[in-house]
Structure 1
């Protein structure tokens, strides 16, 4: 076997293993609870920003349990929802059927979308594609599958905001990222997204906004909820499970993070900053 063939095979094998790890991580806990109980307002925000409406062909990439796909379908749009994790799509399908909505749900990698060029009028992702490891590959497919003149709509946590800081807090306790993987919150900087798109898409709007989260009674309640439901947090705790001192330290660090952001009085109130961006395919 030639060196180039051997390297290509190794890269493919490593990437498959990485994607399997990502798929398993997001199946941990109960992300659908996070989507429905905490971040549900974000879906309609992105639907409105992307001007989704009746008859449009819409692709929700890294759709999870349908945080954007379902409100998009409510407008009368023809929606395809894809995600790497089938367990999340199953939850979304159940929720859509309960409302009498018909969507297409497909397992697919955001870095290798099985779609035709220019197939969609609008392509969106709400705190979804930002977690794919290879940002340029994702951007290339977002641009490829939307038609010229079509809309790309993205909602991403910022590095400086609460969730970006949560990932920074967990980083010292997590295993090292695989080679080539980029930090998810980079998608929360407009310059990063502009560089990824290049001259293939023109950014029309990019605004930082806050999701007000007041569902947690205390900072400790936030820690407990994420330890039980949020795949990335669960994965980090599993990584240090054999070291009680590090587990206790991460508990304290996450609680301190919530205390730092808490502006509530009778209960915890947190502002989770995100970047809301829309672009037009050139």
Structure 2
């Protein structure tokens, strides 16, 4: 086990608590629901294939993969998100397995899956190389690895840049939005993969009337935003400043319209 992996395990409790804050299930259902099916289509998931969705949350990619007839395992570090996803699957009559797991140390056999996916999931694990190593390890030779991540330049990347001064960074943690850079992902996967493709696209969001509405939705529902505000709750001036900056960010991207474009990077590759 690497030192980074050991440190990553020390962060498990913090990350579980972070993603249990608010209501990420609402964020997934109301905003990012189209992303999972887009990733599943890009990876060509088919009936009978063994699929692992890593950092699956409530199953944004796992559920559409299962609907295609794949044998799916949805893994995530946060049991609250897994329970929410399992309830959704049960209500819709979708059959798949839910697994609590650290993406830096997956409890899966090497080469166990035909496809290994992650939809705005593994990008939030603090140490990137151990995660990439695990994605490759559990994928069979010739299998597909598919990743969909927010770009640094896109709206969500800018949101995290806005919040960064208000959030302490754990030692050794790498910026999440690096996963939205094709060169970074290509370097992480190294010479263990072939047929590497990376395409930028955008998710169209028409949920918010103005920047303040965006800010308030994320303050109520999105774990990292809630954590940022909790860390400065005793400093009214900093709360006011972050309030203003997030609302301005939303207004800037709405640009007087009722829609935003949230840019993401979609990567597919084959394991050698």
Tell me the number of residue pairs that the alignment of Structure 1 and Structure 2 aligns.
271
Partner of 1:234: 226
**Cα gap change, 1:112 to 1:128, in 2 (>3 Å):** same
Match of 1:211 among 186, 189, 203: 203
Equivalent-residue separation in structure 1 for 2:10 and 2:122 (angstroms): 18
Equivalent-residue separation in structure 2 for 1:112 and 1:13 (angstroms): 10
SS in 1 for 2:69: coil
Matched, 1:103 2:122: no
Equivalent-residue separation in structure 2 for 1:59 and 1:13 (angstroms): 23
Partner of 2:267: 277
Match of 1:144 among 131, 137, 140: 137
Using the size of structure 1 for normalisation, the TM-score is 0.93
1:203, distance to aligned residue in structure 2 (A):
4.2
Where does 1:49-88 land on structure 2 (aligned, <5 Å)? 49-88=42-81
**Cα gap change, 1:166 to 1:70, in 2 (>3 Å):** same
Matched, 1:168 2:161: yes
Equivalent-residue separation in structure 2 for 1:154 and 1:11 (angstroms): 22
1:14, distance to aligned residue in structure 2 (A):
5.0
Partner of 2:119: 126
Which structure 1 residue ranges, 4+ long, deviate > 2 Å from structure 2?
10-17
Check conservation: 2:24, 2:223, Cα contact below 8 A: yes
- Tell me the C-alpha RMSD between the 2 structures: 1.5
Equivalent-residue separation in structure 1 for 2:130 and 2:79 (angstroms): 21
**Cα gap change, 1:169 to 1:114, in 2 (>3 Å):** same
Check conservation: 2:4, 2:130, Cα contact below 8 A: no
Structure showing greater Rg: 1
Equivalent-residue separation in structure 2 for 1:89 and 1:102 (angstroms): 14
Match of 1:92 among 77, 85, 88: 85
Equivalent-residue separation in structure 1 for 2:109 and 2:24 (angstroms): 30
1:257, distance to aligned residue in structure 2 (A):
0.7
Equivalent-residue separation in structure 1 for 2:59 and 2:166 (angstroms): 30
Using the size of structure 2 for normalisation, the TM-score is 0.97
Equivalent-residue separation in structure 2 for 1:188 and 1:203 (angstroms): 18
